[in-house]
Structure 1
Amino acid sequence: MHLPLDIELAIGLQTMSVGSPHNYEQLQAMRKNDSLRSAADVLTNFPDIKHDEYSIPAPAGEIMVSVFRRHTLPQRSTGTLGILYIHPGGMILGNRFLDVATALEWVQAFGAVCVAVEYRLAPEHPGFAPLDDCFAALEWMSQNAQLLFFDSALLMVLGISGGGGLAAGLGLRSLHRNGPQIAVQVLVCPMLDPDNNSTSATQGAPLGLWDSTANSYAWDCVLGTQHQAREISAYLAPCRATKAELIGLPPTFIDVGESEIFRDECVAYASKLWAAGVSTELHVWQGGFHGFDLNVPSAAISMMARNIRTAWVTRWLERKVKTLNFAEFPQAGAELVKTGDELTKPGQGR
């Protein structure tokens, strides 16, 4: 039985339309909602933010990314935060607009630039496919920092749930393969461990939320059935990373609910990061279920979680900016950096 919920969250949960897929039929039914989610829906609450789309090269063909930034650009890009946003959905659901408001709050607060990636989903695209697309977006974002008008020394990776696991894997891959330098990673209730046998996993989740059955199904979609008997890359299952593999990762923020199945793997991953010398802040929210701050945003605990997350980013950003030796970037609108062929302009295909 899951731990007791915060009273406001428990009340909010009663009015939520919740569900988690336990098989492919349920997955397909839930995916129908993804096609209805758009930038226009998100921007209703962010009138000062504009949206552009780019088609960018990826290993299996082009993918779409959305770029969110303020209508009015700052005079200089130095000191401007860049956020690569990786959406939730267990790597089997969702699109780049799902819960992107988490990143847009920082576009609004800090004048940041956000790139949201439309990565391929399992089971149609299993294994490294989602991570490959996220890595392609990371490279494109880093190479085009001047056009996007952010400081390449202030590149954040932000992921939620399944996207949080991808963000953690992306940090490892980029570190080990001399990819773009990630300055900071924010992992919100990340999905990190396919074993699915921790105490919090066996305690279960509130009815209708992401539970152990949905989690097992999602990992089977990504890794294939019987994956427990195989060696799995830490890029796909970051909780498998060794101390040596974790050394050198950037400062990390992790938060998770007390009453959700990912609690113990998040605590374990934070402990591994500390052991590897990685500066890490961890919050376990008493009475919080999976994605509580996204689903019941008006609850006091939800507002507190978002405020503390933002305060941590603020502190990190202030410290980081003070250490940078600034040099003026060329003006926005410079020619796109080439990544193979010429990249497309906003809103255009090739």
Structure 2
Amino acid sequence: MKTGAEAGPADRPPYDPELVAVLDAMLPNGAVSMTLDAIEGARSRSALPDMEEMLSGRTVSHRTVAVARAGAPDLILSVLSSTAAPVSATVPAVYYMHSGGMILGHRLMGLDSCLRWIEELGVTVVSVEYRLAPEDPYPAALNDCRDGYLWMHAHARELGIDTTRTVVAGKSAGAGLAAGLALQLRDDGHPAPIGQLLCYPMLDDRDASASCRQFEGAVVWDRQSNRVGWEAYLGDRRGSAEVPVYAAPGRAEDLSGLPPAYIEAGSAEVFRDEDVAYASGLWAAGVQAELHVWPGAFHSFDSFAPHAELSRAAENDRVAWLRRTVGPTLP
């Protein structure tokens, strides 16, 4: 009998054998698609972690900042820095946007990767609490991300960061927001990051790729879940000609002048083809991009199976790209 992880179309790329065991333990009855009615329950299962416990034994400090804004709610940011970096050092910064399909999550979700970047490279990470759909549809989340990024630049001296060595980064929906932010910063003439770290980014609302079709009813984040996320974010505009490229960067035809990018996806996930297409579009526009398609990896594989061989390889490659892009700070 096929397990929930093994079931699917015959032409679907297989999952990595090590990851299959994780999927079967996680979802013994097979895939569960997201619905609008399920959002509230899913959010209730994703509480803010205990930061004191998370940072115990680590050389990382954390503080929360509330930024007042006219005509919008206060913007909440987490600032995480290395306690091992020289006090007088001016360090690179990673501006981070969390995952969650535009409908779930919080600024402290998925920070395990960021903690390694801080401890190994000495970067400061600023993570933004952006508003979620459907309560706050586009452009609320992107506006929050932009405001937080510009606040970080305006307060660079206070934060001890080098504004010439900033990277925008994210996972899934957060990576899509990072790509949209890079486009918006370019077009509005704001200070540009020197790189984009895009982990399995959510880029295209049009639901038209081969990987979208292959992963209908797949695990973790399938085609139906993806439709729900985009419909919550864009409403009736999803799939229409009225969607701005900042909302769905996969639609952008002009990718010139963007910062170099690290882009990754799994071969066994719905975002695979749009992520590959985005990397190809960057190359065609003369922009440097490093593309990784992890064989047999499902969406967010590294979060659900951090000790798997593919997950460890992916994180090592992200660290290597960051080191080349921003340079090390710690002695």
- What TM-score results when the alignment is normalised by the length of structure 1? 0.86
Equivalent in the alignment of 1:22: 34
Partners of 1:56 and 1:63 within 8 A in 2: yes
Equivalent in the alignment of 1:33: 45
1:49-76 CA distances to partner (integer Å, 9 max, x unpaired)? 1110000134512111011012244243
Distance 1:48 1:168 in 2: 30
Distance 1:27 1:185 in 2: 29
Quick check: 1:283 aligned with 2:292? yes
Quick check: 1:293 aligned with 2:302? yes
Unaligned runs of 5+ in 1: 322-350
Identity of aligned residues (%): 38
AA at the equivalent of 1:69: S
1:181 alignment partner, SS class: coil
Partner residue of 1:252 out of 237, 249, 261? 261
Partner residue of 2:145 out of 124, 134, 153? 134
Distance 1:211 1:139 in 2: 34
Quick check: 1:67 aligned with 2:76? no
1:117-160 CA distances to partner (integer Å, 9 max, x unpaired)? 00000000001000000000000111111111111111110110
Partner residue of 2:19 out of 9, 31, 50? 9
1:229-262 CA distances to partner (integer Å, 9 max, x unpaired)? 342111000011112xx21111110010000000
Distance 1:19 1:36 in 2: 25
AA at the equivalent of 2:150: E
- What TM-score results when the alignment is normalised by the length of structure 2? 0.90
1:37-93 CA distances to partner (integer Å, 9 max, x unpaired)? 34345324x621111000013451211101101224424334x21011100001110
Partners of 1:90 and 1:162 within 8 A in 2: yes
1:281 alignment partner, SS class: strand
Partner residue of 2:176 out of 159, 165, 186? 165
Partners of 1:205 and 1:260 within 8 A in 2: no
Unaligned runs of 5+ in 2: 1-8
Equivalent in the alignment of 1:47: 58
Alpha-carbon shift at residue 4 of structure 1 (Å): 0.5
Alpha-carbon shift at residue 15 of structure 1 (Å): 2.3
Quick check: 1:268 aligned with 2:280? no
1:173-214 CA distances to partner (integer Å, 9 max, x unpaired)? 011101122111100000000011200010016744100001
Alpha-carbon shift at residue 310 of structure 1 (Å): 1.1
Distance 1:248 1:90 in 2: 27
Alpha-carbon shift at residue 225 of structure 1 (Å): 2.5
Quick check: 1:188 aligned with 2:199? yes
Equivalent in the alignment of 1:203: 214
AA at the equivalent of 1:102: S
Quick check: 1:146 aligned with 2:157? yes
Partners of 1:206 and 1:289 within 8 A in 2: no
Partners of 2:166 and 2:326 within 8 A in 1: no
1:124 alignment partner, SS class: coil
